[in-house]
């Protein structure tokens, strides 16, 4: 028996009675109380010298949870696996014209435009609060050029309260107007430049609007990413038929929510079956069953975004119901199901076919 020592006797004891068990069951056995607790803890980066150890695999997704401060007043955010900050840019940004959010079937569109308070205010006012939290905070960064991103990483490196960096590559490069994440070479150059500035856990968050996600994933893995976050929103739009204009002030926006889930799931599966880099799954996750699908597709952890707009406690509720589902499915340790739906052998041929030649010197780590 692996798993949490507290449950050792209990799994034997409950085999017959489990179908009628309530959520938190306490048994008296030889006068001692034993609680049934499936093990939810995960290490996202087993090979990394700092690692990213989480008490459970559920993070909040960037841009959907502020910087965590407001939510800390509503519920116990320390119970989350990790918090990912709103995108941080070098200077404060006002974001795009309103309206910036509109509902759509199975989700929503947003064109917030990276509104945020900028790195200076983050380091001065927010990171000191993060440093008092038990829950790890990952700083999501966005820029207009590679030196922009590199500077952000340099300033975040060593900042108390920052446990990792997530690069949002779905931003246009001012040099050519193309998103960094749309091309393996650009994504690789960006990852490499950030990697040189920090030995913090480095997650690269890819967007789904690409022809070959495995090629981009392989390029950033080779350039020094420790993990991938899959995926960001999908470009989309709605038209207001009375005004005969796009609903969003910016014209188009990013689709998120349940409508995105099957696309995200497929991308996680595709990458996990080809590469060995750890993956954090994201896109339309609402329920524990959604999260389990992503874990079975090969993700080590997941992020919950749009679900929080309907229910601010959504990530916490998900953690609680994940425990329930694991009990029902007789899963003692969440790590048991990571990659459970993948074929036995990695498809290295697919990965090699999608790979770009990277001629950077090896990364610093």
Residues found near ligand FMN in the complex (CB under 6 A): 61-64, 86-87, 110, 112, 114, 140, 168, 205, 232-233, 256-257, 260, 282-285, 304-306
Q: Which is nearer to ligand FMN, 40 or 204 (CB)?
A: 204
For strands 164-168 and 83-84, give the pairing: unpaired
Give the nearer residue to ligand FMN in terms of CB position, either 56 or 140. 140
- In this complex, which beta carbon is closest to ligand FMN, that of residue 4 or of residue 233? 233
Contacts 24+ apart (CB under 8 A), 240-244: none
36 within 8 A of 14, measured Cβ to Cβ: yes
CA distances from 362 to 12, 14, 196 (A): 50, 52, 10
| Nearer CB in complex with ligand FMN: 214/302 | 302
Cα–Cα nearest to 168, from 223, 126, 230: 230
Pick the catalytic residue from 165, 171, 218, 322: 171
Using CA atoms, how far apart are residues 16 and 32, in angstroms rounded to an integer?
A: 21
Q: How far is the CB of 239 from ligand FMN (least distance, A)?
A: 20
> Using CB atoms, what's the residue nearest to ligand FMN?
63
How many Å apart are CA 220 and CA 214, to the nearest integer? 10
On the question of a cis peptide bond just before residue 266, with omega within 30 degrees of 0, the verdict is no
Q: Respond yes or no: is residue 171 known to be catalytic.
A: yes
- Do the Cβ atoms of 175 and 145 come closer than 8 Å? yes
> Measured from the CB of residue 304, what is the shortest distance to ligand FMN in angstroms?
6
Bridge partners, 344 (sequence order): none
For residues 109 and 100, the answer to whether their CB atoms sit within 8 Å is no
- Write down the least CB distance from residue 140 to ligand FMN, Å: 5
Smallest separation (angstroms) from ligand FMN to the CB of 114: 6
What is d(CA 352, CA 130) in angstroms, rounded to the nearest whole number? Answer: 40
Min dist CB 152 to ligand FMN, Å, is 13
Cβ closest to ligand FMN, residue 215 vs residue 285: 285
Q: Return the active site residues.
A: 171
């Amino acid at each position: 028996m692996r798993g949490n020592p507290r449950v050792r006797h209990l799994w034997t004891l409950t085999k017959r009675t489990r179908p009628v068990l309530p959520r938190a069951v306490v048994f008296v056995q030889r006068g001692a109380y034993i609680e049934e607790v499936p093990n939810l803890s995960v290490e996202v980066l087993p090979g990394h010298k700092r690692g990213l150890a989480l008490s459970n695999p559920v993070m909040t997704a960037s841009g959907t949870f502020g910087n965590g401060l407001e939510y800390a007043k509503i519920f116990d955010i320390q119970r989350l696996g990790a918090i990912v900050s709103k995108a941080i840019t070098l200077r404060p940004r006002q974001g795009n014209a309103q309206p910036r959010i509109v509902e759509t079937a199975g989700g929503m569109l947003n064109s917030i435009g990276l509104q945020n308070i900028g790195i200076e205010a983050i380091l001065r006012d927010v990171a000191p609060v993060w440093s008092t939290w038990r829950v790890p905070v990952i700083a999501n960064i966005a820029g207009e050029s590679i030196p922009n991103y590199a500077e952000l990483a340099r300033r975040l490196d060593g900042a108390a309260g920052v446990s990792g960096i997530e690069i949002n590559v779905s931003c246009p490069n001012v040099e050519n107007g193309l998103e960094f994440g749309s091309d393996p070479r650009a994504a690789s150059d960006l990852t490499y430049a950030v990697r040189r500035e920090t030995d913090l856990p480095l997650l690269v968050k890819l967007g789904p609007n690409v022809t070959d996600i495995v090629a981009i994933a392989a390029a950033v893995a080779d350039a020094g990413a420790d993990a991938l976050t899959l995926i960001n929103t999908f470009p989309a739009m709605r038209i207001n038929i009375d005004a005969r204009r796009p609903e969003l002030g910016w014209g188009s926006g990013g689709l998120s929510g349940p409508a995105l889930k099957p696309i995200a799931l497929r991308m996680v599966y595709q990458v996990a079956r080809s590469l060995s880099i750890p993956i954090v799954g994201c896109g339309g996750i609402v329920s524990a069953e959604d999260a389990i699908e992503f874990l079975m597709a090969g993700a080590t952890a997941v992020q919950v975004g749009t679900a929080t707009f309907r229910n601010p406690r959504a990530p916490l509720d998900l953690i609680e119901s994940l425990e329930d589902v694991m009990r029902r499915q007789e899963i003692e340790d969440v790590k048991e199901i990571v990659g459970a739906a993948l074929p036995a052998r990695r498809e290295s041929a697919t990965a090699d076919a999608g790979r770009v030649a990277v001629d950077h010197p090896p990364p610093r780590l």
